[in-house]
Structure 1
Amino acid sequence: MSIEYFVEGKVIVQTKGDNISFSKGDIVYNSEKSIIQRGAETGVSYGEPRKIHPNDKPISTIDVTLNLFFDGTQNNKTNTQAGKNHKKSNHKDDSYTNDYSNVARGFDATDPSAENQVRVYIEGIGTEDLKSDDVFPDVAFGTGDRGVIAKVAKGCIEGAKALERKFSDVKKQINLTVNVFGFSRGATAARHFIYVATNPAKIFSTGSGFFALSPYDAPSLKNAVYMKEKSSLADSFGFFGACLAAKKLQIASIQFKFAGLYDTVASYGPNHRGGWGFNDDTKQLSLDAIGNGKVNFVLQIAADDEYRDNFDLTNINSAGLYGLEFTLPGVHSDIGGSYVDGEKEVSVLYCQKGSIINDIFFNIEEECKKFKEILIDEGWYKDEELEIKSFYQSDLDPDILWTKDSSSFYGIIGTRVLSNSYDKVALNLVFHYSQNKKTGGVKYLDSSLKRHQIEEEFLTRIYNQLTRYTNACNDLRNEYIAKYLRGESTADYLTEIKKISYLDFVDEQDLKN
């Protein structure tokens, strides 16, 4: 924006105080005669320019960014820090025994002192800080007081509180940008948040004012937000908008700029695929609300090797050209993090009851040998990590028991030591796209970005190969954006981008190491 003055005569500016001009560009004076500068006391001084503060703009609005991080099921950074010896931990397999997820790492890396930026972390489904995990129904089904919808309601409330703490004294109106991040069911929560924040709130009116009902607690007034006057924010931006209005924040506009999703898995309710009179997860939670340009850019990183029987991936097809989905080798936590580095994992990979009938008619030993070869050939295990043998369930950790049968079994047991370094690949991809001013504009701490850099020689080789794949996907999307801008059809974008596979860019032997 420029302002030019054309004056036929003189321009005289008089002030009793200072006359200060700020510019991010040049300040230019042109004269057909002399340019005269006088200072009554010390003459004319020159020096380094003062930094222009965003809040000093000669306009009535400021630009503010809210970054919302929704962690995954049984992921909780406070509990991880407390450790597995905490009195509220089961000491085996809960939020206290996990390592940090990539959502937690992303939150910690976000610069808390950056101007006009705030961050909010919502702990994972089934968890609360320094409390025991709630396995049923929260962990099992993603429902309940610590379920997906409850966490979204908390995100709305805590997001408004964070903005109030930093900007309650600001007199200008706020142009608010919202970025969301999530892993697993936390990615589901991030997507459901977009739905809640782009649909009208349910309002209960009283003689003294209005209550915006919580998306989890409605139709009760529990956790409802009170507004003395009905706000257009509640109509346009739902329960989130009502929370902002209740804090008396002056919001001029809201845009949802970036969604960074690590392997969205809803697994919501007892029948998440639909049927028996239930809609599937996507419809129940309106997970396609990220589509139609409601979010400027949606990035999803999906796990190619996850066993999806009860762990279905929710794609981002609804985002269309506004989305970019990378499918990387690995399983769920290879993408979203939380593996404990160096932890020993024991798994029963295949077994049958040990019996003469099974030995004679099904040749269990031969079946086990064939399956073992497949596991080694595909890179899941090394030969020394697999054992074919007879065993009783009592020989194993009680956590991996699958039946009360006391019979002996014959099968394959895999034992391996886990590494959590590979999850840096997905984390760095999210860093890359979310800090780009066009797609996210998140301000991170340089020290955190450096700490999460990929430095191991082997992992660097894998990362470089996968970067060729992600660049190919990104280049194709850019081609389709150019088509869109030219008015050409982009209907086959999703079909074409799914044809690009990381297998065309990586050395498969590297993936087996």
Structure 2
Amino acid sequence: MGNAISKIPKRSPRHVTGMGKVKVDKKPKPADNGLVKITASVFFDGTGNNRTNTAIGKSARLHNANAKYAVVAGRTVTFKDSSYESFYSNVAIMEHLNLLDKPNEQVSYYTEGIGTQNGLDDDNLGSGFGAGPTGIPTKVAKGIVGLTTQIEALLERTDKKIGHLTVNVCGFSRGAAAARHFVARRTAEFFPHYTSLSGSLGITADKITINFVGLFDTVSSYGGEKHQTVLGQVRNNVLHKSFDDDVQELHLAIGNHAKQVVQLAAADEYRKNFASTNIQSSVRVGVGLEVCLPGVHSDIGGSYEEYKEEWRWVTDFERLRLIKEGWYTKEQLANPQGGWWIHTMRKLTHVYQFIPLSIMVALAGQSGMKFKPFNADNHDYRVPEKLQPLGNDMYKYVLGRPGPRSLEPYVPAEYDLPEQFHWVRNQYMHRSAVQGESIAQNLKMGGRYKNRLPDRQIFPDSLPR
């Protein structure tokens, strides 16, 4: 695969002055009433996803396919199980494709994923608990400052003031939680002690419209800011189930504070620590659309390695179900000795992620966002020919939904993978949950079950009614 994203120069924000300082060479504000309507798009990447680090890892492996580390600005960074091994997430690709055809009216900002920093090793506190200097609130603050910097540069360049600001926001995983938290921080209403978008720009709330919110499988798993060590976070999570109060703690319920909210959720994800948060608060007020698509968390949001050998322990109890659903062939789960455990391997590629990508791009397009075409320059991100029949079927299903609607009780739509496409599971869809591994690995990546069957926990983003 090519590396189209790394070929594009970054959109560099200009320097931000400190609080209370005066920049003497700054142009005076226009005396007239020259106003500009600005469209801003902000993209929050998922935990362990960082397009800069992905590019560094890809570059190193071009020279040495087995590269385990790189030296970045004099520091050695290791690749194993890190953001340097991942492919680009769908959020990173969307920002790359985001078309800015009116540079004096549009800005776009990408925020690297929770638990990551450009050119540095990944951070355990951020990766494990979404907290600290690489956690959700901090990344949202960075997104607000980044947008503010770009908007101020636009205003200085055009010698105008903000007439109105329309914002699109997209996110994956904890980045989706960050996107929702960002919507809550468009003003200081919910978080008066945190940086808000309106406060950062010095405008009133009525001048900001949240237009489109695109979410790939929200997983907040936020431990809070009270415990600033990994051990403290672990103890807090075990004793107090600190991930259970994220809707209130981060204010993840968007409700009608956006014109359109879309979530593509992962139908086959069931890890204990990867509970999803739905968007029923937006669906119930007529602005939300949520659809569960086949695949696990990063099949939907992207970022799996381009080629991967996936080893898993499977129980004999699961064997027939997994073969019937298409995850494995009979040969891959052969068990001639009749033992309880089967250790098996599949060779997988990452390209299924481009189906959810194409669907989200289409939905965002319906809300007015524009994207570069999937032409020769961006051919790396097109749905491959072999998957196009399934991609077309899923596309028609999602785009054919009636759109925002109210349901009681709330049940998201789900695309049920037709039997003729079960082979896609075997060749393209990953199995993220593990069992039979080390205690630490099972605690981190173990599955959640009900009546011995996979059962994902879903948190409602309930608002008081």
Asked if Structure 1 and Structure 2 have the same fold, meaning a TM-score greater than 0.5 normalized by the shorter chain, the answer is yes
1:501 aligns with 2:458: no
CA change 1:377–1:443 in 2 (3 A) is same
2:148 aligned counterpart, secondary structure: helix
User: Equivalent pairs: percent with the same residue?
Assistant: 36
Identify the residue that residue 445 of structure 1 maps to in structure 2.
372
TM-score between the two structures when normalised by the length of structure 1: 0.65
1:385 aligned counterpart, secondary structure: coil
What is the CA–CA distance in structure 2 between the aligned matches of 1:166 and 1:328, rounded to whole Å?
39
Number of positions where the alignment pairs a residue of Structure 1 with one of Structure 2? 364
Question: Equivalent residues in 2 for 1:58-97 (5 A)?
Answer: 60-83=34-57, 85-87=69-71, 88-97=76-85
1:331 aligns with 2:296: yes
Paired residue type of 1:263: D
How far does residue 202 in structure 1 lie from its aligned partner after superposition?
6.9
Which structure exhibits the higher relative contact order, with contacts defined as CA atoms closer than 8 Å and separated by 6 or more residues?
2
- In 2, are the aligned partners of 1:298 and 1:322 still within 8 Å (CA)? yes
1:157 aligns with 2:145: yes
1:186 aligns with 2:133: no
Identify the residue that residue 52 of structure 1 maps to in structure 2.
none
Identify the residue that residue 272 of structure 2 maps to in structure 1.
309
What is the CA–CA distance in structure 1 between the aligned matches of 2:97 and 2:263, rounded to whole Å?
19
- In 1, are the aligned partners of 2:187 and 2:199 still within 8 Å (CA)? no
Question: Equivalent residues in 2 for 1:480-491 (5 A)?
Answer: 480=405
What is the CA–CA distance in structure 1 between the aligned matches of 2:369 and 2:110, rounded to whole Å?
15
Identify the residue that residue 239 of structure 1 maps to in structure 2.
196
- In 2, are the aligned partners of 1:61 and 1:252 still within 8 Å (CA)? no
CA change 1:460–1:251 in 2 (3 A) is same
**1:160-195 deviation line (CA, Å, top 9, x unaligned):** 011112222432433111111100000000101111
What is the CA–CA distance in structure 2 between the aligned matches of 1:389 and 1:141, rounded to whole Å?
42
How far does residue 281 in structure 1 lie from its aligned partner after superposition?
1.4
1:418 aligned counterpart, secondary structure: strand
**1:395-442 deviation line (CA, Å, top 9, x unaligned):** xxxxxxxxxxxxxx9621121112111111111111112122xx2x22
What is the CA–CA distance in structure 1 between the aligned matches of 2:242 and 2:79, rounded to whole Å?
39
How far does residue 252 in structure 1 lie from its aligned partner after superposition?
7.4
How far does residue 509 in structure 1 lie from its aligned partner after superposition?
3.8
How far does residue 154 in structure 1 lie from its aligned partner after superposition?
0.8
How far does residue 64 in structure 1 lie from its aligned partner after superposition?
1.0
What is the CA–CA distance in structure 2 between the aligned matches of 1:372 and 1:77, rounded to whole Å?
37
How far does residue 111 in structure 1 lie from its aligned partner after superposition?
2.5
Identify the residue that residue 387 of structure 2 maps to in structure 1.
459
1:345 aligns with 2:283: no
Identify the residue that residue 208 of structure 2 maps to in structure 1.
254
CA change 1:469–1:113 in 2 (3 A) is closer
Match for residue 415 of structure 1 among 342, 345, 354 = 345
Identify the residue that residue 431 of structure 1 maps to in structure 2.
361
CA change 1:430–1:75 in 2 (3 A) is same
CA change 1:71–1:453 in 2 (3 A) is closer
How far does residue 377 in structure 1 lie from its aligned partner after superposition?
1.5
How far does residue 495 in structure 1 lie from its aligned partner after superposition?
4.3
Paired residue type of 1:85: Y
How far does residue 502 in structure 1 lie from its aligned partner after superposition?
1.7
TM-score between the two structures when normalised by the length of structure 2: 0.71
- In 2, are the aligned partners of 1:72 and 1:185 still within 8 Å (CA)? yes
CA change 1:243–1:506 in 2 (3 A) is farther
CA change 1:450–1:86 in 2 (3 A) is closer
Identify the residue that residue 319 of structure 2 maps to in structure 1.
372
How far does residue 92 in structure 1 lie from its aligned partner after superposition?
1.5
CA change 1:252–1:512 in 2 (3 A) is closer
Paired residue type of 1:134: D
Q: Which runs of 5+ in 1 are unaligned?
A: 1-57, 204-212, 216-237, 351-367, 391-408, 481-491
Q: Larger Cα Rg: Structure 1 or Structure 2?
A: 1
Identify the residue that residue 163 of structure 2 maps to in structure 1.
174
What is the CA–CA distance in structure 2 between the aligned matches of 1:250 and 1:301, rounded to whole Å?
32
**1:88-135 deviation line (CA, Å, top 9, x unaligned):** 433211000111100110111112453311110100011000001011
- In 1, are the aligned partners of 2:214 and 2:262 still within 8 Å (CA)? yes
Paired residue type of 2:218: T
**1:208-231 deviation line (CA, Å, top 9, x unaligned):** xxxxx5x3xxxxxxxxxxxxxxxx
What is the CA–CA distance in structure 2 between the aligned matches of 1:461 and 1:414, rounded to whole Å?
29
How far does residue 69 in structure 1 lie from its aligned partner after superposition?
0.5
1:319 aligns with 2:282: yes
1:349 aligned counterpart, secondary structure: strand
Q: Which runs of 5+ in 2 are unaligned?
A: 1-31, 58-67, 224-232, 427-465
CA change 1:506–1:327 in 2 (3 A) is farther
